[in-house]
Chains A and B, each alone.
Chain A
Amino acid sequence: MPGRKRKAAQIVKLIGLDDSRLPAISKRMKLGLSADEMIMLKNYFLSLGRDPRDIEVHAMAQAWSEHCCYKSSKFYLKKYLSGLRQEYVILAMEDDAGVVEFDSDHVYVLKMESHNHPSAIEPYGGAATGVGGIIRDVLCMGAQPVALLDSLFFGDLKSGHGEGQLDQRFVFNRAVAGIRDYGNRMGIPTVAGSLAFDRSYSGNPLINAGCIGVARRKDIVRSRVTQSGDLLVVAGGKTGRDGIHGVNFASRSVSGKREDDIGSVQLGNPVTEEALTHAVLEAMEAGILDGMKDLGGGGLSSAVGELCYAGGLSAVVFLDRVPLKEEDMQPWEIWVSESQERMLMAISEKNLPLLDAILETWGLDHAVIARVKEGSNLVIEFHGETVLDLDLAFMTSGPIYCRNYTLPEKKEFTRTQPKEPADLNSLALEMLADFNICSREPVTRTYDFTVRGSTIVGPLTGSIDAETHSDAAVVKPLEDSFRGLVLTSDSRPIMVAGDPYRGTLNTLSEAYRNILVTGGFPHSVVDSMNFGNPEDPGQLGKFVESLRAIRDFCQKFSLPVVSGNVSLYNQNRDQNIKPTPVIFMTGIIDDVRKAIPSYFTGEGNSIYLIGNEDGDLSGSCLLHHLGYENTSAPFVDLDELSSLRKSMDALISNDVILAAHDISDGGLFVALAEMAFGRSIGASVDISETNGGRPINKLFAESGNRVLIEVAPEKEKLLSSLVTATIKKIGTTLGDRIVIENVNMNLIDVKVEDAKRAWSEGLSKMI
């Protein structure tokens, strides 16, 4: 426009500058690059014989950030996870989300990502945009999003807050509200997830959001452009100064003063994203999209670069055509802004009018911002002036680090044995009210988990007013088929902190059992790895051990890892968080009408325990509750889990099981109580025959691959002929009390109602 003063790109003087002065430039421009990386950058421009412009330096910093190029983790991810494929996987770790066969015509598309650093600064906006981002990752593959999951980790709510830090209750409330508002307003049900509290997350909460969608197999849109001459259209939200440097910021720790990190904060706008979803699905239906990528971390810089590079092409970008929120933005700000709700689409010139019409119908801002071309260099023009001209391969590939790591010390697995309390009844009630065990209803109830009308089993299940937790959610994504998705998202940070390898195996075993007891068969794995500072060899060692566990488990059970996310530098004042691998596992159930409930269905039925127990309390909620830290993690026998799988398959196909629940947080006692809650049916149980030693070990140990099942008396004969795993009858469903005996001694005798109250009030008492 005439008369308006435009700030062109500034030259950044690097050539001739002493290497020792480079880190100061990285700091001043908030690039997040190390001294070595700055030298690489300088040498590159030395070879070109010119100094870079600011936009070029910012573009490189984006592309080389931990978030975009996985520089600290790529080597290890490739080493451990690249070989895990199954023939039914269509795309794994290639595009924005994984694509897996659902039935002969359909695929499911899934991904989980963390939004930890933004949520530490502004929990509401950070969590909400985390949900928005993950929905777009699924959407940009051409899939209709059908369900959301989230795994959340907060500091101890009782601990208050340190200097310059947000109160943990505020962080918790606002983050949950952000997830609620985004998911509910988009009309996508939030069906499953997990919630954990530990002091190490104070100041660095973890927000992991997952999304799953479905699409017809032939409609999948790739995150690449293969047609030279295609146009790139940016659609949805406008580009603003919000969210500048978000990814550079994810490559370091949260700074002490929150206001320093202002530029990284974004507010979500689900109303725009809802319209964007409709528009994208219509364009996909019309078959006019040649490629698509959502704008997330790194903004246009990442999206344009990766979309073209993946297709072996490059582009000329007309940066002044991007719709802006603020008029006077500089080219580099436009290029790296991470404003939300934007999508980048590749389309041929002849189909453009059709796309324009669709976007107009939905009232979305849009503009053609680039033309795809042959060649190796990406060129950006701003009002006719070339402001960036860089080799895309050099820019997009980024450095890969193979940093040193140290493995956790080989320690003898000593078992911590707390004192036996005098009154097990009150310990039992205390455990039910423990933060990491108690009812998640105050959180899950705020999420709309039935919108879309396809949720068969939500996070809460049972009779009205007597609900309990489900093990996994069941979603029926297609109107004309009873085939369903079984979804669970799990994490055992206490166990992983004790022993990364064993702890991660326990996490996977729990996710696996959650799907089995719901009546499904495990089908694919998504990992979301949240760890501390990778420059600390001990932290990196934990990450590597955790990956090794994922590989070993998935190899054993022929499970593919189809997508994933790595979040490093999760620290608060040099204190690393507990290493937290989140496992989002998806199963398939042939007929959703056969989903197995997690609660006792009637009185007079038998309760069986399948699996071996050894009474190992390591990594248990009981020890965490009693104040023991890092108590190692119990051994996981994968062969035993395999035989459990065979037994469950046989029992399910013969309709033997009335209800089933896995034994995890809080051990056998909590599992029994949760089964009792769903219909307020009590149980009379005798654990004399179980192994494990002392009563508290038998009641609260979380070790072993165990599940509880409820079986009608007339099916018991059939049961014994079908099960190959270790199985014991431990009691009967009965009355309105939970009574547990051991060697003729009564250990626990509580009314279901009282136990339920303690469990229900645990969380709401704190918030």
Chain B
Amino acid sequence: MKIALRIEYKKGVEDPESSVVQKNALTLGFDKLKSIKIAKEYVFDIADQAGKAQVEKIARDLLVNPVIQEYTIYERDE
């Protein structure tokens, strides 16, 4: 089973990377862009449902900085 962990900046935290992408896209003439959100997704291959709890723990203990980031976990197609 595949479990995805998606990490993104919380609302109100400025992401310099996305503002640079947006600025450059506008320079190239893509004028319909209102904003860009960049997220990072990890995909875990887990043995069973207990693995999902482990992913949650990995997220909290290792991968997510709760001060500036939030995360979602969901099951993903292969």
Interface residues of A (CB under 8 A from B): 121-122, 125, 237-238, 240-242, 258-259, 261-262, 265-272, 325-326, 339, 363
Q: With an 8 A cutoff between CB atoms, is B28 at the interface?
A: no
Q: How far is the CB of B21 from chain A (nearest CB, A)?
A: 11
List chain B residues, Cβ under 8 A from A325.
Answer: 12, 14
Of B14, B15, B65, B66, chain A has the most CB atoms within 10 Å of the CB of B14
Q: With an 8 A cutoff between CB atoms, is B13 at the interface?
A: yes
Q: How far is the CB of A305 from chain B (nearest CB, A)?
A: 25
Complex: how many Å from CA A630 to CA B10?
43
**A363–B23 contact, CB under 8 A?**
yes
Complex: how many Å from CA A242 to CA B10?
11
**A267–B12 contact, CB under 8 A?**
no
Q: Which of B17-61 contact A (CB under 8 A)?
A: 19-20, 23
List 4 additional contacts besides A262-B10, A339-B14, A363-B23; criterion CB under 8 Å: A122-B68, A259-B66, A269-B16, A325-B12
A265 and B16 in contact, given A121-B67, A125-B68, A258-B67 (Cβ under 8 angstroms): no
Q: How far is the CB of B8 from chain A (nearest CB, A)?
A: 13
Complex: how many Å from CA A326 to CA B14?
10
List chain B residues, Cβ under 8 A from A268.
Answer: 16
A240 and B67 in contact, given A269-B19, A271-B20, A363-B23 (Cβ under 8 angstroms): no
Neighbour of B12 across the interface among A241, A259, A269, A271, CB < 8 A: A241
**B13–A267 contact, CB under 8 A?**
yes
Q: How far is the CB of A127 from chain B (nearest CB, A)?
A: 14
List chain B residues, Cβ under 8 A from A271.
Answer: 16, 20
Complex: how many Å from CA A238 to CA B35?
15
**B67–A122 contact, CB under 8 A?**
yes
**B16–A267 contact, CB under 8 A?**
yes
- 19 A–B contacts, CB within 8 A, in A order: A122-B67, A122-B68, A241-B12, A242-B13, A258-B66, A258-B67, A259-B66, A261-B67, A262-B10, A262-B67, A262-B68, A265-B13, A265-B67, A267-B13, A267-B15, A270-B16, A272-B16, A325-B14, A363-B23
Q: How far is the CB of A14 from chain B (nearest CB, A)?
A: 29
Residue on B with the closest CB to A262? B67
Q: How far is the CB of B23 from chain A (nearest CB, A)?
A: 7
Q: How far is the CB of A106 from chain B (nearest CB, A)?
A: 33
Residue on B with the closest CB to A363? B23
Residue on B with the closest CB to A263? B12
Complex: how many Å from CA A270 to CA B23?
15
List chain A residues, Cβ under 8 A from B66.
Answer: 258-259
Q: How far is the CB of A243 from chain B (nearest CB, A)?
A: 10
The A interface is mostly helix, strand or loop, or mixed, namely loop
**A242–B14 contact, CB under 8 A?**
yes
For the complex of A and B, 10 pairs with smallest distance between CB atoms? A269-B16, A241-B12, A122-B67, A258-B67, A265-B67, A267-B14, A271-B20, A121-B67, A240-B14, A265-B68
The interface size of chain B toward A, counting residues with CB under 8 Å, comes to: 13
List chain B residues, Cβ under 8 A from A125.
Answer: 68
List chain A residues, Cβ under 8 A from B19.
Answer: 269
List chain B residues, Cβ under 8 A from A237.
Answer: 14
List chain B residues, Cβ under 8 A from A265.
Answer: 13, 67-68
Q: How far is the CB of A276 from chain B (nearest CB, A)?
A: 13
List chain A residues, Cβ under 8 A from B67.
Answer: 121-122, 258-259, 261-262, 265
Complex: how many Å from CA A232 to CA B22?
28
Residue on A with the closest CB to B65? A122
List chain A residues, Cβ under 8 A from B13.
Answer: 242, 265, 267
Residue on B with the closest CB to A261? B67
Q: How far is the CB of A128 from chain B (nearest CB, A)?
A: 10
Q: How far is the CB of B64 from chain A (nearest CB, A)?
A: 12
Residue on A with the closest CB to B10? A262
Complex: how many Å from CA A266 to CA B67?
10
Residue on A with the closest CB to B16? A269
Residue on A with the closest CB to B24? A363
**A240–B12 contact, CB under 8 A?**
yes
Q: How far is the CB of A399 from chain B (nearest CB, A)?
A: 32
Q: How far is the CB of A492 from chain B (nearest CB, A)?
A: 32
List chain A residues, Cβ under 8 A from B10.
Answer: 262
Q: How far is the CB of B57 from chain A (nearest CB, A)?
A: 16
List chain A residues, Cβ under 8 A from B20.
Answer: 271
Q: How far is the CB of B39 from chain A (nearest CB, A)?
A: 15
Q: How far is the CB of B78 from chain A (nearest CB, A)?
A: 34
List chain A residues, Cβ under 8 A from B14.
Answer: 237-238, 240, 242, 266-267, 269, 325, 339
**A242–B12 contact, CB under 8 A?**
yes
Q: How far is the CB of A655 from chain B (nearest CB, A)?
A: 50
Complex: how many Å from CA A189 to CA B66?
32
A267 and B23 in contact, given A240-B12, A240-B14 (Cβ under 8 angstroms): no
Residue on A with the closest CB to B23? A363
Complex: how many Å from CA A91 to CA B15?
37
List chain B residues, Cβ under 8 A from A240.
Answer: 12, 14
Complex: how many Å from CA A270 to CA B14?
12
Complex: how many Å from CA A2 to CA B56?
45
Complex: how many Å from CA A242 to CA B14?
8
Q: How far is the CB of A133 from chain B (nearest CB, A)?
A: 16
* Cβ proximity bits B63-74 to A, threshold 8 Å, 1 near / 0 not: 001111000000
Q: How far is the CB of B61 from chain A (nearest CB, A)?
A: 10
Residue on B with the closest CB to A244? B12
Residue on A with the closest CB to B66? A259
Complex: how many Å from CA A339 to CA B13?
10
